[in-house]
Amino acid sequence: MRALVFDEGLKAVDMPIPKRGRGEALIRVSLVGICNTDIEVTRGYLAYKGIMGHEFVGRVEEADDADLIGKRVVGEINIVCGECQMCRGGNPRHCDNVKAMGINGWQGCFADYVVLPERNLHVVPDLVSDRQAVFTEPLAAGIEVLEQVHILPTDLVAVIGDGKLGLLTAQAIHASGHDVVVLGKHEKKLKIAESTGMDVSFVGEFTERVDVAVDCTGNASGIETAMAIVRPKGTIVLKSTFHKGIPVNLTPVVRNEITCVGSRCGPFPPALRLLEKETVSTEPLIDAIFSADQMTDAFEAACTRGSLKILMDFRA
């Protein structure tokens, strides 16, 4: 099978189809999305080596659970032990022995086939196309903010960052009825946010104070913007992961008694529901779809500054 592997460098290789273990499914991959975390992996994040990728939609070819066979699925990225204190305490995404597909200790989905535990899989509703379903994982990550922070109906929420994650997270919060302003640097991307009914502003030009600021910039400057615009006693949600940090003065957090919340992966079922109802618009976020025969070109396109979602198609 074709696979995009990171091992010091990025290589498109040919390798055997993986074998599934007990309770695991073998999935024929249809469409995958390249995420900023993938780019960070190639810069040394978590020292990962192996097949890249964690955003996919595909069809189950083999599984213990006969009901799953032939089903179109998306998959949660964390592979957990089910036995440690975090798992037993109801926080399996923070399992002490966690592995993450294409990021940490588990082979990714930028390949013709991927293996995942059956319990990680969610069947995609018929009304949700492959092109929408491939956004389930990053949209779920946006929805996680709503699980973590109690946003009041009168609150103003700023999402900092007009990239893929920012535009999905902002839409997820907006879909639940909140006032959302997206702060970004790119006119084209802010237009996308505007077209979904949200307010937008260039980062440096925004002068209001917000109750909740969500950093989706993917770089360390996001928290500084967040500290500058959030009101005293407000909340900052941090969604950026990067391989290396920069020194940040957190004094405003102390002085203004700001609550900081780290936020990573989220629940898939509500993400699939939002896609099914077309409450969240994903099509404008697609920059290009590459064939799986052009995986290194696709990755290069994803690394280009300012690019939105790059997809890779394994169906042909």
Q: Which residues bind Zn ion (CB under 5 A)?
A: 35, 37, 80-81, 84, 87, 95
Closest separation in Å from C-beta 84 to Zn ion: 3
Closest distance of CB 155 from Zn ion, Å: 26
**In the numeric block, which tokens belong to residue 229?**
């615009």
For Zn ion, give the closer residue by CB, 71 or 94: 94
At residue 87, φ and ψ (nearest 5 deg) are -60, -50
Shortest reach from residue 37's CB to Zn ion, in Å:
4
Rounded to a whole number of angstroms, the minimum distance from the CB of residue 310 to Zn ion is: 12
**Quick check: 19 and 284 in contact, CB under 8 A?**
no
Strands 24-34 and 105-106: unpaired
**Which residue, 17 or 86, is less far from Zn ion as judged by CB?**
86
Decide whether 209 or 243 has the Cβ nearer to Zn ion: 243
* One-letter-per-residue 3-state SS of 113-179: EEEEEHHHEEECCCCCCHHHHCCHHHHHHHHHHHHHCCCCCCCEEEEECCCHHHHHHHHHHHHCCCE
Would you state the torsion angle of the CA atoms of residues 14, 19, 23, 26, taken in this order, to the nearest 10 degrees?
40
Closer residue to Zn ion, CB minimum distance, 178 or 239: 239
Q: Which is nearer to Zn ion, 156 or 170 (CB)?
A: 170
**Tokens describing residue 243:** 């391989």
Residue closer to Zn ion (CB basis): 90 or 247: 90
- Residue 36: CB minimum distance to Zn ion, A: 7
H-only helix segments in the chain: 36-42, 85-88, 130-133, 136-148, 164-175, 187-195, 221-229, 251-255, 268-276, 295-303
CB of 299 to Zn ion, least distance (A): 14
- Best CA proximity match to 236, nearest among 133, 120, 158, 314: 158
Q: Which is nearer to Zn ion, 5 or 101 (CB)?
A: 101
Least separation, in Å, of the C-beta of 69 and Zn ion?
27
Length of the chain: 316
In sequence order, the β-bridge partners of residue 159 are 182, 214
User: Would you give the end-to-end CA distance of the chain in angstroms?
Assistant: 12
